[in-house]
């Protein structure tokens, strides 16, 4: 029986049923925001109160179409003279998916899954400013803006040289006051002679200005072109004798390292303090080797990188704990960040190239960064931990 074959009563009941179904399934109307319930005169008074900050007027106009039409004349007059102020205001509201990039003066998207594994390693060479910036956004604006502090906590491995031993990097971070601090523990272990080779032949940095060893024993030249600063505790006590072969001729016992515990050190250029520990321990050698395999469908060889672990034995462990003060990470012009991450840093003996990026040892004495880290007890990050 079709709709036309129904009796008048059945047709009326059918239509009432359809209307009831529509009322149940239709989306509920969105209530009008309290701001839009105000008379236009009051909205114009709000605009007049914000006249000293055109960026605030534009931000308010972008909240909905009704306000955009009401403030259309202000939007038309805005020339974006202080676009950074406007973008920073927008970042406060959209900081869970967008961030302001100071170098290019734009808003960019980001993923909440960003972490140090996206980088080559945890040393400061490939460090990305924007990751530190996003962590500070979470601290300033609160969740879910930016990135969590734990996103800077990671363990990874870095090659020392060729197929030699690998350095283990373990990072953690703290926010002390308004500055971001980073601690990286660099560890290499194995047979004493292998660890000596990993340090002398490798190219490993505590920061951009302090290297584990700046002299290549094979080629005999200084690798570190930016600085001559090295970790004093890692120097070879028999370097001269070993180069000339005198240690073997004189029958002297082979000594590759002098054991030490938390030997202090600092970088005279950036805000980095570190301690060095050299000790006898049960160790496991870790190698990064390249294995060549013939490709069946081609004429060349394919390189496959593999990590090899040797059984535990009695050896030497070298551990360097570095403490870095990165600054507030709000702008790349901050001297603390520039001193830490710049590829070129003026040398101490180059008077013409001196700049404020050099560490003022009167104000930032050796060990001050380490003491700040150890003194501060980091509070657990909660939803409201950003509130002061």
Q: What is the CA radius of gyration of the chain?
A: 31
- pLDDT, tens only, 304-337: 555 666 777 789 999 999 999 999 999 888 888 8
State the residue for tokens 């202000």.
74
User: What pLDDT shows up at residue 313?
Assistant: 77
The residue ranking higher by pLDDT, 376 or 134, is: 134
Q: Which of 267, 377, 378, 272 is nearest to 325 (CA)?
A: 272
- pLDDT, tens only, 35-92: 888 999 999 999 999 988 888 999 999 989 999 999 998 888 887 667 888 999 999 9
**Contact criterion met (CB below 8 Å) for 273 and 264:** yes
**Contact criterion met (CB below 8 Å) for 190 and 317:** no
Structure tokens at 381: 């990050």
**Contact criterion met (CB below 8 Å) for 261 and 280:** no
Question: Cα-flanking dihedrals φ and ψ of residue 176, to 5°?
Answer: -115, 115
**Contact criterion met (CB below 8 Å) for 186 and 320:** yes
User: What pLDDT shows up at residue 117?
Assistant: 47
State the residue for tokens 């007027």.
57
The residue ranking higher by pLDDT, 232 or 114, is: 232
Sign of CA dihedral 29, 31, 33, 38: positive
Structure tokens at 59: 């931000």
User: What pLDDT shows up at residue 298?
Assistant: 39
The residue ranking higher by pLDDT, 160 or 198, is: 198
Give the max Cα distance, the chain.
120
180 phi-psi bin (left φ>0, alpha ψ -120 to 50, beta other): beta
Strand 229-230 versus strand 260-266 pairing type = unpaired
CA distances (Å), origin 12, targets 22, 23, 26, 66: 15, 17, 21, 41
User: What pLDDT shows up at residue 222?
Assistant: 43
- pLDDT, tens only, 149-195: 998 998 988 887 767 788 999 999 999 999 999 999 999 999 998 89
Whether the per-residue pLDDT at 242 is higher than 80: the answer is: no
- pLDDT, tens only, 334-352: 888 888 876 444 444 443 3
Structure tokens at 118: 């996206």
User: What pLDDT shows up at residue 220?
Assistant: 42
CA distances (Å), origin 353, targets 150, 211, 226, 357, 359: 38, 22, 13, 11, 14
- pLDDT, tens only, 254-284: 788 889 999 999 999 899 999 999 999 988 8
**Contact criterion met (CB below 8 Å) for 136 and 146:** yes
Q: How much is the average pLDDT of 244-257?
A: 64
- pLDDT, tens only, 1-30: 555 566 778 877 888 888 888 777 777 777
- pLDDT, tens only, 203-238: 788 988 888 875 544 344 444 444 558 898 998 877
């Amino acid at each position: 029986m079709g709709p036309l074959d129904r009796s008048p009563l059945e047709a009326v009941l059918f239509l009432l049923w359809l209307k009831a179904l529509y009322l149940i399934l239709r989306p509920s109307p969105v209530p009008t925001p309290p701001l839009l319930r105000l008379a236009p005169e009051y909205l114009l008074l709000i605009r007049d109160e914000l006249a000293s900050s055109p960026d605030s007027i534009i931000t308010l106009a972008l909240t909905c179409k009704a306000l955009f039409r009401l403030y259309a004349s202000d939007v038309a007059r805005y020339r974006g003279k202080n676009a950074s102020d406007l973008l920073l205001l927008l970042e406060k509201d959209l900081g869970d998916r967008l961030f302001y990039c100071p170098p290019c003066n734009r808003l960019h998207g980001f993923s909440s899954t960003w972490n140090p594994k996206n980088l080559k390693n945890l040393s400061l060479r490939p460090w990305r400013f924007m990751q530190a910036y996003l962590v500070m956004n979470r601290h300033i604006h609160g969740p879910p803006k930016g990135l969590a502090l734990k996103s800077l906590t990671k363990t990874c491995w870095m090659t020392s040289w060729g197929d030699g031993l690998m350095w283990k990097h373990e990072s953690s971070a703290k926010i002390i006051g308004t500055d971001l601090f980073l601690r990286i523990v660099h560890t290499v272990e194995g047979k004493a002679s292998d660890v000596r080779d990993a340090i002398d032949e490798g190219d490993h940095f505590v920061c951009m200005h302090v290297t584990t060893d700046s002299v290549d024993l094979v080629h005999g030249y200084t690798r570190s072109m930016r600085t001559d600063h090295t970790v004093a505790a890692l120097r070879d006590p028999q370097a001269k004798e070993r180069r000339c072969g005198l240690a073997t001729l004189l029958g002297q016992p082979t000594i590759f390292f002098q054991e030490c515990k938390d030997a202090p050190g600092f970088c005279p250029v950036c805000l980095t303090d570190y301690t060095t520990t050299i000790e006898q321990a049960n160790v496991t050698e870790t190698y990064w080797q390249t294995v060549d395999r013939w490709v069946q469908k081609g004429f060349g060889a394919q390189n496959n990188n593999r990590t090899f672990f040797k059984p535990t034995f009695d050896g030497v462990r070298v551990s360097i704990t570095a403490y870095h003060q990165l600054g507030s990470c709000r702008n790349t012009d901050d001297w603390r960040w520039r001193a830490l991450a710049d590829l070129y840093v003026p040398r101490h003996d180059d008077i013409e190239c001196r700049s404020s990026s050099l560490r003022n040892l009167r104000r930032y004495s050796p060990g001050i960064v380490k003491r700040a880290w150890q003194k501060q007890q980091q509070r657990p990050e909660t939803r409201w931990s950003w509130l002061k």
